[in-house]
Every structure is written in C-alpha cells, then in structure tokens.
Amino acid sequence: MERQLARTARPIESTGPAFVGRDRELAAVAEALTGGPALVLVEGEAGIGKTRLLQESLRGLDELTVLAAACPPMAEPFPLGPLVDALHRRSIDGVELTPLAGALRPLFPEWAEHLPPALEPLEDPSSTRHRLFRALVELVERSGVDVLVLEDAHWADAATLEFLPMLCASSDRDLSLVVTYRATDVPAGSPLLRLTSRPPAGLRRLSLTLQPLGVDATTALVASIFATDDVSAEFVSFLHRHTGGVPLAVEESVSLLRDRGDIVRRGGEWSRRALDELQVPPTVRDSVLERVARLAPEARRILAAAAVLTDPADEPTLAAVAGLDEEDARFGLAEALSSGLVREAAAGRFVCRHALASRAIEEATPASERRHLHRKAAEALQGSGTAPVARLSRHYREAGDVAAWSRYAEAAADLALESGEDRAAVVVLHELLTTADHPPDRHARLVRSLGEAATWGVAALGDLALEVAETLSSALERYDLPAAQRGEIRVLLGRLWLQLGDFDAGISQVEAAVADLAERPELAVRAMISLAYPRGHDWPVSRHLEWLGRATRAMPHLPEAERVWFDVDRASALLMMGEESGWSAAAELAGEATTLFDQRQLARGLMNVGHSAIGWGRDDDARRQLDRAIELLASTGYQRLMNSALITRALVDWHAGAWDGLADRVGELADSDDTLPEALLEARMLLGLAGLADGRRADAEEHLRTVVAEAGRRGLVDVHAAPTGALGRLYLADDAVDDALQVTGPAMATIVRKELWLWAADLAPAHVEGLVRAGRLAEAGELVDRFAAGLAGRDMPASRAALLVCQGLVAADDATAADLFGQAAEAWSRLPRPYAELLARERRARSLLAAGSAGDAALDLLTSVQRRLRELGARWDADRVAQLMRGQGVDVARAWRGGRRGYGDRLSPRELEVARLVAQGLTNRQVAESLYLSPRTVDRHLSAAMRKLAVRSRTALAVAITADAAATDPKIG
C-alpha cells in the first residue's frame, strides 16, 4: 500500500519550461546554419541555456544531417572520445569507404567486419595521428553530415579540437560547425582558443555569448513552468536575485521548492509560502541533491547508475548497473525522467540532465556503493562489446580493481599514443603508477611504458614532466630490479632529464645505466651515444669522444635494422665536436637508407649535418643538406622534425643576408605547437637577432635573454653562443662593459672548458672586446691564443674569421688591427656572410681613423658600410656608423622608416629625463623608483647620455644638462 502511494502521489503539476529571452540568438543561429558553411560559437556559463538554444535552432531544419558530440567532464579526456561516441551511434551500412578507413579500426573495434583492413603501422606518432584524422574526415564526409555540433568543448581533448579545423578544411561538403563552451573553464593553451580566435578558412563566423535572463525573462520562464501568467513579482524577484538569472538554476530552484511543497497559490498568484523563512539553495548542486533525496529508492538507484555511466545508456544497461529488475528499473527510470534529472539523449538512451547533476549525484553516493556501481558499469559495458577502453579503465579504477584497471589503462595509453596524444598516455600511466600498488613485473612494465611515453612527448607535459621524473626515480629505489630492467629505466630517466634541460642529472643516470646493460647491448649503445653528444658545461670533448669510441666498438652487437640511426648519431656527434672525420661519416649516410625508418633517420642526419655545417662556416653545404632534409621529411611524412629543419634553414638565410620576410616566417614557426623545444630556442634567437639589427632593442633583448638563460641551463653549447654574443654586443654599444662580460663570460668559459672552439665564432669577438674595454688585456690575449691553438689543423672558416676579429681586438697597434679586421672581412665575404663582413669592415674603418692615417679611405669605407647595412636592413648598425661619420664631419642623412625612432647622437626623451634627474642629485636607484624603471635600465640610459654628451662624470653631466643647455644644445632631441 505504501509503495502504491509512493508511485501515485505527485506534487503540484508543472509543465516543461519555455524557451524564453533568446529570440535574437535563435534567429541568428538558424540563419547561419541555412546560409552555407558556418562556424557558430556559443559561449556561456553552466546552465545558461547553450544546449537548449541549439535544440530549438535545429528544430525544423530537418533537411540538415546533424552529428552531435558531447564532451564529458573527465580529469583527462580520452583522445577523440566525443567524436568516436557520436559516430559510434550511427550506422555505416552502405557508407563507401576507401582503404584509408582501415586506420579507424582501433577507434571502432565493433565495426571490424565493415571496415577495410588495418594499415601498416607508422613509426612517427604525428604521422599516425594525421592519417587517423584523414580517415575520420572521410567517415564524417561520406556519412552525409551537414552540421557537426560539439557541446561543452571546454572539456574536449586536444585531438578533438585539433581535428575540427582539418575537417572543415578537408571536407568537400558544405559542413557547418557548432561549438558550445564555457570560456572560464577553457584551460590555458587549449586548442579551443585558436579555434575561437581564428576560425577555419571558408566558414562564416557567428559568435554568441549567452547572458543571464533579466527579470522579465525570468518571469516568463517561471510562468511557463506553471503554465500561467499568475506569478508573484516578489517570488520572481527573489528567484532572480538568488539565481542570478541563470535558467538552469531558476528551473532547479523552482523544482525544489515545488517538490518541498513550498510554492502556494496566494491572492490568485503562485508564490513562496514564506518569503523570509526558506532559502533557495545557493548552488545547483544543493538543489539537485535535495531533489534526489525526495525520489523513490528505485529512481535514486537509476540516477546513481546514470551518474556513474556518465554517457547515454539504454534501459537494460541502467537496470544492470542499478541492480534492479525490469519492473523496478522501468518505474525508477520513469520517475527519474519525471523529476527532470534524467533526459532522453537519443531514442532509448538516457543520461543525467546535465553534467553538474551527474557529478553531484555520483559524489554524494557512498564510497562503497560507488565502487560497486562502477564495477557493475564495467561489467555491463564489457557485455555490450562496444565500450572504449578509456571508459573501462575509469570504471575499474573507481571500482578498485587494480589488475583490470591496469589492463585497460595500458590499452588506453597505447591508443592515445597511436592517436598522437602523448600527454594523455602519460597522464593515464602516471596516475596508474602513483595511486595503486602493483606486482614487481607489472610495476616495471608500467614504469618503462611511462618513461617511453614521457620522453617521446616531453614538450607537451609541462610541470607533469617533473612528476614523471620523480616517479621513475622512485621506481629505481622501490624494488630490487634485475640489472637490465634497472638500466633501461635509468636510460629513460636520463633521456627525460636531458630533454628537460638538466644535463648533469641526465648524464649521471645514463652513465650509470651502461654498466647495467651488459645483457642489452643495443640499449647500451644508445646510452653511449647519448653521452657522446657534446652538451653540458664541464665534460671536455675528449670525454665525449671516449664514449663515442666505446659505442663504435659495440656497434657489431646492434641489429642490422638499427645501424642507420647509429651512423646518423655518430656523424652528428663528430661534427658537433668539430671533428673532421665527421664529414666522411656524413658522406657515407646517403647510400644506407632503404626502408621508411631508415629514410627518416637519414632526414634527421641531414638536418643535423646542416646545423653543424653552419657552425663550421660551410654555409653552402648547410643549405644543400637542409634542403635535402626538408624534401625527405616531406616525402616520408616525418612532420615531427619539419619545423626544426625550416628554422635551421632560416638561420642559413640570416647569415646569407636574405632577410626579407625572415622574421615573419620564423615567427609563424615559433607559434606552432609542432615546434620542438630546441628548435623554438633557435627560432627565438633568430627573432632576437633580427630585432636587434632592426633597432627593436627591447623586443630583441627579451628574446635573446630568454634563449641565453634556457640554452645555458640545458647545456646547449651550439645554441647558446650566438644569442650570448648578440646580447654582449648590445651591452657593449651602451658602454655597459660589466654587463657584457657578465653575460658572455659563462658561455665562453664553457667553450674553453669543453674545447668546443667550433661554436666560438659568434661569441668570442664580443667577449674579447669586453675584456679589452675592461682593461683585462692579458686575459684577452691569452684567450685569443687558446682560440688559435684550438683551431690548429681544422678547416673551420667561420671560427677562423672570428679569430681574425679577436686578434685585431688585441693587436698591438691600430694599423695592425685594421689589417686583421680587413682580413676577417674578406674571410666573411667568402662564406658569404655579409652582415659579419660589414661589422668587420666597420672595425677596420674605426682602426684606420684611430691610427690617424688614411682618413679619406676610412671615411669612404664607412660610407660604403653604412649604405650596405641600410640596404641589408641592419638599421641599428647603420645608425651607429652614421653617428661615427657625423662625428668625423660627414653629413649623413638618415631616413626614419617607422617604428621606434632612433636618436643617433641626440638624447632620446627617456635619456634626457634620466639625465635631468641625475643632474638634480638623485641616485640611480632613486631615478629608477621615480620613473618606474629598473636600476639596470637607468644605468644604460645614463651611460648613453654621458657618451652622447661626451662627459665622464655626473658633475659634468649636471653642467651639460641645464635649463638653457636643454633648450639650445643641438645634441638634445
């Protein structure tokens, strides 16, 4: 009897809420979707009505085929999960697919008999992902989809968001894209930000931001719930004030008050029983949970099952998870539907009405019951034979079944790697390792998988990479592992530290691993090769060569299939160390590449040779090697290294003086997510060099300082030298000699310690000049002698040209210096490197002037240098030379080309401001505080002002900067 009453008793009846307050948005969406391909962006907070707007907009557009994908709120969403789930609900019977669709088998195992055969695995995850994306495009296109809807895109995985632009660009159909999201919940760096700011080409864009309802619209909403216009204004005002006009909060609050019996008819109007006695719950969660508590037990169990499942499920699945028989499940589902907490997402498939309700219900379920429900969910999904491994992994994790969780988590990680989602794989494996205990064998296997995934995709890990390194370190201490397993983990940990830039930590792990890998010679050789690359700050070249020799002697133990990568690494390491034998080793590479893997290794080798050739000063060789590398990377689909090769080729263009459009090209590559960390440093270096030459000093200094700090931390000697030398030149131009030596000193010390004179060409002149100007002549001379000795017997044109510059800087007299600078200029011109050549010719002209002879020849030379610098685009340098010429009485016109104006020998407004405050007796720190500048910046402005005014003391500056002088002195601009 009690049960019958429970089933028949109902609170005050109400109807479904009307769609109110969105007429303009409704018309805009309908017009966009019927007017050709469009990108419709609907943004708004939770419960604001994004989904309802789409439902109403699509109603009546029956001529359009809509594919709706929803993104569930998961800690680490599964790659392509929303699209897979949406497509899975469609039939592919009659859909004609090409062999490319064989790439879809891992995503749709239940379609095995309908899909073409599986494709040959690819070695590069980026290529695998690209192929998978192309196959998905084909599936969507040939399924006749007109509109793809992605709901709650702030929870979407990166792969899904990166796929959308490719779908729009590749599809031959007029496909529209509708995306709903919450802007405040979009993670930093999410691809969604690019999609919302730069829509795919060819799509008209409609961007809507849904605002909360006003009081009038809230009145209409509440009135529609009760199918009457008789609603108390006080009641609506109360609701609007406490819900902020968010439609979902309004609906849930009204439902709660109705279920409580707290809504009464008074004076012909619906109102609350007592305006001040009861409070509307402050959050939707409180509202949901209280409503759940008022339902029959069967309905609560259905709700708990739906919340645990998260995704839409049919009635038998809900019944199985809830543990109800058919009759009770039907009653529970009916009541859950009547409550509004469950909705029918598709015919016969039900889900919690919104994610907030689902989360609130699951979190409120007792832990023991929640574990039981997750196990039942896993069993039910396994029985259907269609559940993605990521969902099974989640359910078994929550159920506490570590063995099953591990099995499906590893499968999910493998699928993530195959889809190119390295971070997703790392998150799954790391959570599995750090939150559960495992037998030694499984633990070792998981650690190995985690290390391999992390070292492959370290660029995308961020701070998680440090947690992974700690997990790998703990694994070495946790178990008494066999030597081979311990060595393998050490190699992975070392490689991870090396990629994170901690050379010392990485190299110590790799070095320790070699002794453990006697039974794994192929892995031991890889470890030795890692030790052969001349990175870090302390090891001399001889020690790197020793490891390379050991690796070479162990090479016969390598499988034949791995010989090419070894030969590539051997040639690369030799060239980076400045060993002539590296050239013959590089020449032997081309004939070895037969398989796809070998061809990609050859492309990597060509890129490395091209990079090293720049350091050697063999620029023509560098361009040829890099052009071949780029062709081979493109033909083999090895996109992972393409941006690296393009950036290195841009460095050849920089040295060759081909500067037109260079900064724009490099900037685009620097902004690309596909650019690897070391290549990004090289890109920022180029942007810094270009900015400095163009006179954009602040931007240039920011880029250069960033690269100097990071390359120095990582021990990247080959990347560290050039930006350090440029930064030193910038400080020397401001007479900030101490700053110049402070920045160039550590990098120069590393080159001396490691005996890597190959990479001194861009650094040594700036450092030697700093030593000379600081009066440390003996130290400068000793360094130049060591530089010369280090180049003995080596054909390194760039370093030899730089050595001539250094020898000119320490020459005994100006005439000798002028001759040496002239030789250096000729050497640079033969490479050719016109910018370096012109800087050397400028030095020659200055020396000729200082020698007091050949004045006309010096001025003629300066005239030529200034003109060529201007034509090259080296604005900063051209202005410096022009200033020198004006000081010699030569009238030089300097056109301003826009941007930040240079002031030559006249004080800039900021320099004048600093000088006047100093003249008033303020210290540099007081000036800095007054002008909101750093003391270092004040020092630079002050040094520049004193140089331009030809004064050497603050007292002399005060005399020069008087009110009258400021008004009349032509040097003050």
pLDDT in tens, 620-645: 999 999 999 999 998 888 877 899 99
pLDDT of residue 72: 82
| Backbone angles phi and psi of 705, in degrees to 5 | -65, -40
| Structure confidence at residue 904 as a pLDDT band (50, 70, 90) | low
Share of residues in the chain with pLDDT > 90 (%): 35
Beta-ladder partners of 389: none
Instruction: Calculate mean pLDDT across residues 702-730.
Output: 93
- What's the confidence (pLDDT) of residue 637? 82
Stretch 856-861: mean pLDDT:
90
Q: Between the CA of residue 905 and those of 220, 916, 955, 967, 969, what are the distances in Å?
A: 72, 17, 20, 16, 12
Among candidates 489, 475, 485, 425, which has minimal Cα distance to 454? Answer: 425
Label residue 964 by pLDDT band (50, 70, 90): very low
pTM of the model: 0.63
C-beta of residue 136 within 8 angstroms of C-beta of residue 80: yes
Tell me the per-residue pLDDT of 269-306, one tens digit each, with 9 for 90 and over: 545 444 444 333 445 667 677 778 878 999 999 999 99
Predicted pLDDT of residue 275? 41
Instruction: Find where tokens 């009110």 sit.
Output: 963
Confidence class for position 737, pLDDT limits 50, 70, 90: very high
What does the pLDDT read at residue 840? 97
All residues at 6 or more sequence positions from 285 whose CB lies less than 8 Å from its CB, including other chains: 356, 359, 360
Whole-angstrom distance, CA of residue 835 vs CA of residue 847 = 19
Do residues 798 and 831 touch, judged by C-beta distance below 8 A? yes
The torsion defined by the Cα of 333, 335, 336 and 340, in degrees rounded to 10, comes to 130
User: 3-state DSSP call for residue 108?
Assistant: coil
User: Within 10 Å of residue 374's Cβ, how many Cβ atoms?
Assistant: 22
Contact, 708 vs 670, CB < 8 A?
A: no
Q: What span, in angstroms and rounded, lies between the C-alpha atoms of 64 and 536?
A: 60
Residue with tokens 């599936």: 139
The 8-class DSSP code of residue 231 comes to B
Q: 147-151 and 269-272 as β-strands: parallel, antiparallel, unpaired?
A: unpaired
Tens digits of per-residue pLDDT, 515-548? 888 888 888 888 899 899 998 888 999 999 999 9
Average pLDDT over residues 882-903: 68
Answer with the residue of higher pLDDT: 446 or 560.
446
pLDDT of 896 higher than 50: no
Q: Cβ distance 535 to 547 under 8 Å?
A: no
683 token code pair = 């890109």
Q: Please, which pLDDT band fits residue 953 given cuts at 50, 70 and 90?
A: confident
Q: Quick one: average pLDDT of 308-331?
A: 91
DSSP bridge pairs for 314: 349
| Burial of 235: CB neighbours in 10 Å, binned 0-12, 13-18, 19+ | buried
Backbone dihedral angles phi then psi of residue 263, each to the nearest 5 degrees: -105, 125
CA dist list (Å): 351 to 179, 304, 653: 20, 11, 58
- Tell me which residue of 84, 21, 160, 102 sits closest to 386, measured CA to CA: 84
- If one compares 949 and 457, the residue with the highest pLDDT of the two is 949
Q: Is the pLDDT of residue 754 over 70?
A: yes
Lowest-confidence region among 77-81, 230-234, 275-279, 578-582: 275-279
Instruction: Give dist(CA 513, CA 845) in Å, integer.
Output: 56
Residue 267 pLDDT exceeds 50? no
Report whether 584 contacts 543 (CB < 8 A): no
Own/partner pairs, 888-897, CB within 8 angstroms, 24+ separation: 888/849, 888/855, 888/859, 888/862, 890/859, 890/862, 890/863, 892/866
CA distance 259 to 483: 67
- For residues 576, 577, 583, 587, the Cα torsion angle rounded to the nearest 10 degrees is -50
Reported confidence tier of residue 678, pLDDT bands at 50, 70, 90: confident
Question: Can you read off the two tokens belonging to residue 407?
Answer: 């099995």
pLDDT given at position 875: 92
Spatial neighbors of 378 by CB under 8 A, at least 6 apart, are 387, 392, 395, 396, 399, 401, 404
Q: Tens digit of pLDDT for each residue in 778-829?
A: 999 999 999 999 999 899 999 999 999 999 999 999 999 999 999 999 999 9
Q: What is the pLDDT of residues 605-615, one digit of tens each?
A: 999 999 999 99
The whole-number pLDDT of residue 690 equals 94
**Is pLDDT above 90 for 732?**
yes
d(CA 838, CA 820): 14
* Per-residue pLDDT tens over the stretch 448-485: 888 888 876 665 666 778 888 888 888 887 777 788 88
Run of H or E including 151: strand 147-151
In this structure, which amino acid lies at residue 719?
V
Q: Which two tokens stand for residue 550?
A: 């050991």
Predicted confidence band of residue 243 (pLDDT cuts 50, 70, 90)? low
> Residue range 370-383: average pLDDT?
89
What is the predicted pLDDT for the residue at 297?
A: 93
Answer yes or no: is pLDDT of 973 > 60. no
**pLDDT bracket for residue 899 (50, 70, 90):** very low
Average pLDDT over the chain, rounded to an integer: 84
pLDDT in tens, 398-430: 898 999 988 888 888 888 777 667 777 888 888
Residue 260 is predicted with a pLDDT of 62
Q: Is the pLDDT of residue 558 over 80?
A: no
Beta-sheet strands, E only, within 333-412: 342-346, 349-352
Rounding to the nearest 10 degrees, give the CA dihedral for residues 956, 958, 960, 965.
-170
- Provide the pLDDT for residue 750: 95
**Alpha-carbon gap, residue 844 to 850, rounded angstroms:** 10
- Give the range among 181-185, 843-847, 915-919 with minimum mean pLDDT: 181-185
pLDDT (tens digit per residue) in 18-66? 888 888 999 999 998 888 888 999 998 777 889 889 988 888 787 888 9
| Cα of 732 vs its chain's centroid, Å | 35
* Spatial separation of the C-alpha atoms in residues 670 and 653, rounded to whole Å: 16
| Residue 181 main-chain phi, psi, to 5 deg | -165, 165
Confidence at 264, pLDDT banded by 50, 70, 90 = low
pLDDT of 347 over the 90 cut: no
Q: Please give the average per-residue pLDDT across 889-913, as a whole number.
A: 64
How many Å apart are CA 247 and CA 213, to the nearest integer? 7
What is the predicted pLDDT for the residue at 458?
Answer: 65
